[in-house]
Amino acid sequence: MTVDSAPIREAVIVGAGIAGIGMAARLRRAGIRDFLVLERAERIGGTWRDNVYPGVACDIPSHLYEYSFRPKPDWTRRFAPGAELLEYLDATVVAEGVDAHLRLGTALERAEWLEERGCWLLRTSTGTVRSRALVMAAGRLSEPRMPDVAGLDGFAGPVAHSANWTAPELEGRSVGVVGTGASAVQLVPELAGRAARLIVFQRTPAWVLPREDAAYAPSEPRPSRRELAAQAEGLFAARLRGSPEGAALARRAREHLRRQVADEELRRRLAPTAEIGCKRAVFSDRFYPALARDDVTLEASALAGIADDGRTALAASGAQYRLDALILATGFETVRPPFARLIRARRRSLDEHWRDGMTSYASVVVSGFPNLFVLDGPNAALGHHSAFEVIEAQIDYVLGALDHLRRHGGALEVSPEAEAAYTARIERMAARTVWAAGCGNRYVDPRSGRLTVIWPERASRFRALNGRFDPAPFLGAAARR
């Protein structure tokens, strides 16, 4: 079959994580069957498939970290472990009939908008597909961020990233962990006591809040999603610069540090200086006690290099440590998604369009890229609430757009003016938040200095602005009908 004779699908979704599975399930519930879900891996799950390091778990309450259309009343813990979240996604795929649309082991290699045919041509590792609409659901946590460390490639021992976990031999060995963020605070307590010696490299101290996790007893009443959502929305006030709510949260974190770390020098090295929330606050009741162990060393500076012998780790402070294994808990590429290089329209890639940082309209559509919808992309992350809140609003938007295309045909392309106005609005909202406080977080694009990852308002505000498709900001006859 030639490319020209291949059928044009109504939609193709790229990625089978939370966003892609949710989009597919809602398409089926809307009676739409002519779509595919392409997943480069050999199984679904996204973040919860890839992150299998010891101790991995969600830091959002379980009953808030689920599809609203598919509640799970029997979560085992207040904060679900990664394996249980993956089981939930597996069960959703089967129950919603998404498995019939899956193409596993199929990586997107190039997507090009065919102007004359009004569709996307997708070249994949297993063949070619045409689709009227392209829904990118590749997520923000799909490409591990590798630190810029001189000589890292020459390290003689095993190197593991938390997002590509291959358990190194720990017993009797000296192990370095790079990072003190969300993954590290879960991982370090699991490694402490197994390695003969654990060195934790801390570039900047993190704000650590009590986690207060617990297993649910079989007969214990569960909190409602509505209650948890209201509590989460209340946390946004603490993300405003100089707010009394933020000051109260900082006091709680400092008290947590004081209670858990008796040694004054260690406490001093763990005390954050940036405004709370500028970088992601983390939750743990076990991280500080792990750092206080005799066989754990907190190196309060970054890993700067690996010596020529392939074993000696050089800290920015000048300290040196001989290591047998190295674990990188250094997060993900968030501000410049690699998939943007694969998407082209009118001789321009999405990466080129985003050369000064990600932009969009409604955090879903991008000027110059017709019938392209990006889930969990520009300004679509939340710093106080569950990712499901934004993702489900985006799914509603895409469903409205696809319904418009089915009824009116043509193509939907948002105007440059609408995208520019939305970007300016984001900047105005961002200016009052802690994320714009200049702490060097990974939510701000270093090329433009703009906040491009986080939605700088409440989740309810996102839904109110972006949860319903409106054709008015779009160009062409299709939008005017």
Within 10 angstroms of residue 268's Cβ, the number of other Cβ atoms is 11
Same domain? 159 vs 136: no
Last residue of a domain, one of 269, 296, 328: 328
Same domain? 128 vs 201: no
Residue 310 lies in a domain: yes
Same domain? 64 vs 116: yes
Within 10 angstroms of residue 440's Cβ, the number of other Cβ atoms is 12
Last residue of a domain, one of 302, 328, 354: 328
Q: Closest by alpha carbon to 115, among 354, 415, 348, 361?
A: 348
Predicted pLDDT at 479: 56
Same domain? 204 vs 126: no
Distance CA 128, CA 442 (A): 35
- Residues in CB range of 370: below 8 A, 6 or more apart: 113, 118, 345, 411, 412, 413
Same domain? 135 vs 156: no
Distance CA 413, CA 406 (A): 15
Distant-in-sequence contacts of 291-294, Cβ < 8 A, 24+ apart = 291/188, 291/200, 291/261, 291/266, 292/260, 292/261, 292/262, 292/263, 292/266, 293/192, 293/193, 293/198
Q: Closest by alpha carbon to 118, among 135, 131, 137, 136?
A: 131
CB 456 within 8 A of CB 429: yes
Same domain? 391 vs 307: no
Helices 18-29 and 387-408: crossing angle in degrees, nearest 10, is 40
Residue 85 lies in a domain: yes
Same domain? 200 vs 322: yes
Predicted pLDDT at 169: 85
Predicted pLDDT at 1: 44
Last residue of a domain, one of 328, 357, 379: 328
Q: Can you give the CATH number for the domain in which 269 is found?
A: 3.50.50.60
Residue 96 lies in a domain: yes
Structural domain range at position 424: 8-143+333-480
Same domain? 209 vs 301: yes
* Domain count within the chain: 2
Residue 305 lies in a domain: yes
Same domain? 402 vs 430: yes
Same domain? 56 vs 180: no
Same domain? 317 vs 200: yes
Residue 3 lies in a domain: no
Residue 81 lies in a domain: yes
Residue 93 lies in a domain: yes
Residue 2 lies in a domain: no
Q: How many residues does the chain have?
A: 481
Same domain? 288 vs 341: no
Predicted pLDDT at 168: 81
Q: What is the pLDDT along the chain (481 residues), one digit of tens a residue?
A: 455 667 899 999 999 999 999 999 999 999 999 999 999 999 999 999 999 999 999 999 999 999 999 999 999 999 999 999 999 999 999 999 999 999 999 999 999 999 999 999 999 999 999 999 999 999 877 678 888 899 999 999 999 999 888 878 889 999 999 999 999 999 999 999 999 999 999 999 999 999 999 999 988 999 988 999 999 999 999 999 999 999 999 999 999 999 999 999 999 999 999 999 999 999 999 999 999 999 999 999 999 999 999 999 999 999 999 999 999 999 877 888 999 999 999 999 999 999 999 999 999 999 999 999 999 999 999 999 999 999 999 999 999 999 999 999 889 999 999 999 999 999 999 999 999 888 888 899 999 999 999 999 999 999 999 999 999 999 974 555 5
